[in-house]
Chains A and B, each alone.
Chain A
């Protein structure tokens, strides 16, 4: 869809459009990689859970399409199976999805091509912000020309999204209920994959410190302040890691 957006918006500059379509295709090709495969497997784990609690195929696909963030999808599945009301469910999901905000804030300056990038383009591609695409983008986009980044990310994000929707539908229909150790293994895929890919995407020792602090503070805050634990982990862990990194690298200037 974004390639046709490019057509309208940059029609006065055919070479730009060429570039956009080219980078969109490159992004789509880049989607056939290990992270996509792991995400597909993680969604297979989710379909198994969804069938267990009685979600229909349509509901599973709509959740995947509209939310596109597996931890939040799992939270909504839990709320729906527990018969939670609309507002409590919305609050629980919103709390689990807060992380998308700083992730988007951190990604946009990488994606943006000064004034050429329109806000509604950013709003559309922001839908693809989820851990897999975020990590991939933070690792690969900075080495690309600015004009290439938005179409590349749009191509990557939409292809991953499409492929995962297809595999999710297929696994819901075809696969028998996965049970026991294999099901547990599928559920473990998400955190393990998140951990290693976050580590690989880290640019500075500050990022790595934030990762380790978050791993330690997460359970502590979960114990003492359930509900607000993720926000606290992000702000406290991130700020301490950032301050430490700033102090370590700029000591001479301070």
Chain B
């Protein structure tokens, strides 16, 4: 990729500007925007709900429209893995590890079976 723009320092400019500044600025804006916001206020509950829905949107995007190798897995198998994870999570009393292992088992097992 660095040969595209030639110089050796180009990737570092990319990382500093398109990477560091483009992500870190949101954290700084967040610090200033939080101002005097109180933990027990309704505004705080709303901001938390927005943050939660945003992350949920990322989760859905990572599963349904993934880049790279996960995209080679059929979409029904990806959804089956997520569903299996939820079942495993609920069956074993809301245990994080149970959900993750079940989902991975369905995905890896299912795909290995298909190949």
Given A122-B31, A189-B104, A238-B49, the answer on whether A215 and B61 have CB atoms closer than 8 Å is no
Given A86-B14, A241-B49, A241-B53, the answer on whether A188 and B78 have CB atoms closer than 8 Å is yes
Query: By the criterion CB–CB under 8 Å, are B99 and A192 in contact?
Result: yes
| Size of interface on B: residues with Cβ below 8 Å to A | 77
Query: By the criterion CB–CB under 8 Å, are B22 and A192 in contact?
Result: no
Given A194-B58, A214-B60, the answer on whether A76 and B48 have CB atoms closer than 8 Å is no
Given A100-B26, A213-B56, A214-B56, the answer on whether A222 and B65 have CB atoms closer than 8 Å is yes
Query: By the criterion CB–CB under 8 Å, are B23 and A67 in contact?
Result: yes
Query: By the criterion CB–CB under 8 Å, are B33 and A105 in contact?
Result: yes
Select the residue from B17, B23, B25, B64 with max chain A CB neighbours within 10 A: B23
Main secondary structure of the interface of A (DSSP, over half): helix
Query: By the criterion CB–CB under 8 Å, are A100 and B23 in contact?
Result: yes
Stretch of A3-11, A17-25, A177-185 lying at the B interface = A177-185
Query: By the criterion CB–CB under 8 Å, are B62 and A230 in contact?
Result: no
Q: How far is the CB of A228 from chain B (nearest CB, A)?
A: 11
Query: By the criterion CB–CB under 8 Å, are B30 and A129 in contact?
Result: yes
Select the residue from B33, B44, B53, B58 with max chain A CB neighbours within 10 A: B53
Query: By the criterion CB–CB under 8 Å, are A105 and B20 in contact?
Result: no
Given A80-B1, A194-B55, A218-B61, the answer on whether A90 and B27 have CB atoms closer than 8 Å is no
Choose from B27, B31, B55, B70 the contact partner of A184 (Cβ within 8 Å).
B70
Residues of A within 8 A of B (CB): 34, 38, 49, 52-56, 59, 62-63, 66-69, 71-74, 76, 78-81, 83, 86, 89-94, 96-110, 112, 119, 122-123, 126-127, 129, 131, 134, 138, 142, 179-185, 187-198, 200, 202-204, 206-207, 209-219, 221-222, 229-231, 233-239, 241-242, 245-246
Residues of B within 8 A of A (CB): 1, 4-5, 11-34, 37-39, 42, 44-70, 72-73, 78, 81-82, 85, 89, 94, 96-97, 99-100, 103-104, 107-108, 111-112, 115
